[in-house]
Chains A and B, each alone.
Chain A
Amino acid sequence: MKLNRRVFIGAAGAAAASLQAPAVLGAGKPRVVVIGGGAGGATAARYIAKDSKGAIDVTLVEPSRTYYTCFFSNLYIGGFQELSDIGHSYGTLAANYGINVVHDWAVGVDRDTKLVSLAGGAKLPYDKLVLSPGIDFVDGAVEGWDLSAQNKMPHAYKAGSQTELLKAQINAMPEGGSFCMVAPPNPYRCPPGPYERVSMVAHVLKSVNPTAKIIVADPKPKFSKMGLFQEGWGNHYEGMVDWIGEDFGGGNVSVNPDAMTVTIDGEETKVDACNVIPAMKAGRIAEMAGVTDGNWAPVNAADMSSKADPDIYVLGDASQQGDMPKSGFSANSQAKVCANAVRGALTGSKVFPAKFSNTCWSLISTDDGVKVGATYEATAEKIAKVDGFISQTGETAELRKATYEESVGWYAGITSDMFG
């Protein structure tokens, strides 16, 4: 009973439509619970519901009513998108696909009784459970920083109010002030993400605060699309970006959020805005469900099922699958393989072989887009890279513009693939 009420609350504006939706809870249909309504979870829920045509009862658990995509959140910082452009609601998934959208946190998974408990007290039974909770941060990863400091030194690595805050802090920097990014160690979500962000921050500062400086303290010796970004920073933002890699002590960092100082390799600097992106791990619920090994949840490449429990699937950033980068594109790709397998297991529908792909676009400056991508296959041991490509340095302005336009098309494509 309680669950039913929640469903209607969750469906919000779509309540009237979901009254007519065919899904009836507990009518003996197989039940799938999906935790996390992001790139992996929303896609999986939509495909399972869509392709099973009502034969499977799908519940999606997601605390937020509006999902702000991390992808394109850097473009919001750069002034190329409004925050509202990257916000998506779950109305269509509830109304048109009959998915029970429950806006709550999952706080526990009992694998013996196959029950998910929610913060609001409800318990959801499942036959198959899909986890796509994204990331959380590793405690103590950056000396001096913890979550309580996120309003002074935002991570902005989960999109929404954090991104808004970071943008505001950048815009409020004094003339000639300093912006510092503490970049994360591998593996983390969106390998080119921090560097696209540096580009977007530089783009903003160049127009409103051209004597400002950008410092990047990086624990890595090199990073994704490094040649392309460095070429772009030289072309568009000459002298603005100081990237301090591992070799120069970029990994030896502590911060003091109250004093707004950053100490890199023993040298303390006062900064005006500071973006701390700590080391990452699977979203906490994966660990609570007991499917993690170390920071991530190992999965079987053929169907994304957990190595710890055949009735649990782990998608996207939280999973440890092999060669795919942690990206929205990857999570969406994995979700479709998983949906096909889950449907096959529960309804006997045909299961086709897994196919995975990824492409990550990044924007360096106005109309200067680059991309990197690869295709992957499932082997016994992992998701293995088959073939790939990357944009080249020195490409023509027309090609870079077309690449950017393509990314805009991709954004429209993937968000409608996720949310209907």
Chain B
Amino acid sequence: MLAAAGCAAMAQAAEELGDAEAGKKVFNECKGCHQVGPGAENRVGPHLNGLFGRVAGSLEGFRYSKSFRRAGNSGLEWHADSLSDFLKNPRSVASGTRMSYRGLKDETKRADLIAYLRLFSDSPSDIPEADPTAIGTDHGLDPGILALQGDPEYGAYLSSECTTCHQAEGGDEGIPSIVYWPEEDFVVALHAYKNKQRNHPVMQMIAGRLSNEEIAALAAYFEDPE
């Protein structure tokens, strides 16, 4: 029963994200210049491990175009949405990029490719937490939920349930850190567990019995636990 429900939730999340299996085939177009996966190195293009959340043009040891470094300096980071824009038309994002690729117009293929690249970004892979792997802002959450003002004092009390596993000091071996998250990311992530769009049984259970107000309170607290 549980396993079946878990699989359904995973399938659903994968659909939103694109199909990583199919994306692996799409990646064949990129392979000439880019490596990804265990042991990947910089070649003509930079390796693509840990791409999500990376600032554009920031990989140590790779010579980027000026245009690319400038894009990074002015705040371009790789997330599902920015990658999608870039892959659609690379020059629209970094006009002087040396990546000689005309772009991938097919939206489904783009989503598949991004889903595939995402496999090499999150760790541990079953814990798709906010920043590195968030799916842009396309979370479909009721704006009323996002607008709730949480009570940090209540959040502080509720947080003690979290710190049994998530270290208050922010350590993240085996279990991700949840301190200093932007409030909105926190709310979005917890609702995704509550609605079983994210696939982790402990978190689905914990989030499943938090009310909207309680999630807001936790988000308010964890944004700045001091």
Contacts and interface: CB of A to CB of B under 8 A. Distances in A.
Interface of A: 47, 329, 332-333, 336, 340, 350, 352, 355, 357, 359, 371, 373-375, 386-390, 392, 398-399, 402, 405-410, 412-414, 416-417
B163 interface: yes
Contacts of B167: 409, 412-413, 416
A37 B146 CA distance: 41
B8 interface: no
B175 A406 contact: yes
B168 A417 contact: yes
Given A409-B175, A412-B173, A333 B161 contact: yes
A355 B159 CA distance: 11
Interface string B118-144: 000000111000000000000000000
Contact of A357 (B3, B161, B166): B161
Nearest to B2: A389
Given A373-B201, A375-B205, A389-B2, A410 B161 contact: no
B165 A375 contact: no
A333 B161 CA distance: 7
Contacts of A336: 160-161
Interface in B1-44: 2-3
A329 B157 CA distance: 17
Given A409-B173, A412-B167, A417-B164, A375 B209 contact: yes
B202 interface: yes
Contacts of B148: none
Given A336-B161, A392-B3, A409-B167, 6 more contacts: A350-B153, A373-B201, A373-B205, A413-B165, A413-B175, A417-B163
Contacts, number: 91
B174 A389 contact: no
A412 B166 CA distance: 9
A57 to B, nearest CB: 21
B158 interface: yes
A399 B163 contact: no
B169 A352 contact: no
A332 B171 contact: no
B64 interface: no
Contact of B165 (A374, A402, A414): A414
Interface of B: 2-3, 124-126, 153-154, 157-158, 160-161, 163-169, 171-175, 201-202, 204-206, 208-209
Nearest to A376: B209
26 contacts: A333-B161, A333-B164, A336-B160, A357-B161, A371-B201, A373-B201, A373-B205, A375-B205, A375-B206, A387-B208, A388-B205, A389-B201, A392-B3, A398-B125, A402-B124, A402-B126, A405-B124, A405-B173, A409-B171, A409-B173, A410-B164, A414-B165, A416-B167, A417-B160, A417-B163, A417-B164
Q: Ordered nearest first, which 4 A-B pairs have the shortest CB separation?
A: A409-B174, A409-B175, A405-B174, A336-B160
B111 to A, nearest CB: 23
A323 to B, nearest CB: 15
Contacts of A359: 165, 202
A372 B33 CA distance: 45
B19 to A, nearest CB: 19
A410 B175 contact: yes
Contact of B164 (A332, A387, A388): A332
A355 B161 contact: yes
Contacts of B161: 333, 336, 355, 357
A417 B168 CA distance: 8
A386 B169 contact: no
B59 to A, nearest CB: 26
A359 B173 CA distance: 17
A359 B165 CA distance: 10
Nearest to A328: B164
B21 to A, nearest CB: 16
A95 to B, nearest CB: 16
A399 B208 CA distance: 22
Contact of A389 (B124, B154, B175, B205): B205
A286 to B, nearest CB: 24
Contact of A414 (B3, B164, B205, B206): B164
A339 to B, nearest CB: 8
A406 B209 CA distance: 22
A390 B172 CA distance: 23
A83 to B, nearest CB: 20
